[in-house]
């Protein structure tokens, strides 16, 4: 059960997604700090789906590149999309009244981060954490 996904429809799915993420991170041999980073990043991404898109999916895959091993987290939804990507990547920007840590926070927690979003179509976020 290395590569797997969780559909995000209600709040409980956020918990399910981060638990899956933590288990995979543990299995891959990430330390406690990286486990916390990964779990937190998944929680943020899943919550974004739940709050803004209504529903979507979190996918977790292990990756290998040369001698490096790691874990990819993909967040995909067919929600309203993000009109101004630059703005949501600024610290302190939030439309939900949260702390606004959201996406820039996820970017800091992970090693690689990319986002594609089309208004009206949905959002696709891919991020990677490498095993040190």
Partner 1 sequence: MNMRIPILKLHDCLLVSIQWELDDQTALQFQEDLLHKIHETSARGVVIDFTSIDFIDSFIAKVLGDVISMSKLMGAKVVITGIQPAVAITLIELGIRLEEVMTALDLEKGLEKLQRELGD
- What are the residues binding partner 1 (CB under 8 A)? 11-12, 14-15, 18-19, 22, 32-33, 35-37, 39-40, 43-44, 47, 91-92, 98-102, 104-105, 108-109
3-state DSSP helix/strand/coil percent for the chain, to nearest 5? 40, 30, 30
Neighbours of 98 (CB within 10 A): 12
Shortest Cβ 67–partner 1 spacing (Å): 26
**φ, ψ of residue 58 in degrees (nearest 5):** -110, 125
Nearer to partner 1, 82 or 109 (CB): 109
Shortest Cβ 89–partner 1 spacing (Å): 12
Neighbours of 66 (CB within 10 A): 5
Shortest Cβ 47–partner 1 spacing (Å): 6
In DSSP terms, 76 is beta-bridged to 57, 124
Nearer to partner 1, 15 or 85 (CB): 15
């Amino acid at each position: 059960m290395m590569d797997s996904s969780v559909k995000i429809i209600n709040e409980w799915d956020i918990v399910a997604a981060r638990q899956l993420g933590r288990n995979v991170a543990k299995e891959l041999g990430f330390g406690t700090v990286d486990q916390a980073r990964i779990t937190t990043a998944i929680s943020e991404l899943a919550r974004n789906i739940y709050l803004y898109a209504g529903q979507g999916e979190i996918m977790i895959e292990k990756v290998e590149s040369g001698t490096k091993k790691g874990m990819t987290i993909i967040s995909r939804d067919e929600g309203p999309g993000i009109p101004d990507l630059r703005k949501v990547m600024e610290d302190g920007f939030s439309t939900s009244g949260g702390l606004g840590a959201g996406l820039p926070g996820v970017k800091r927690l992970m090693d690689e981060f990319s986002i594609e979003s089309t208004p009206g179509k949905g959002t696709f976020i891919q991020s990677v954490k490498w095993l040190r």
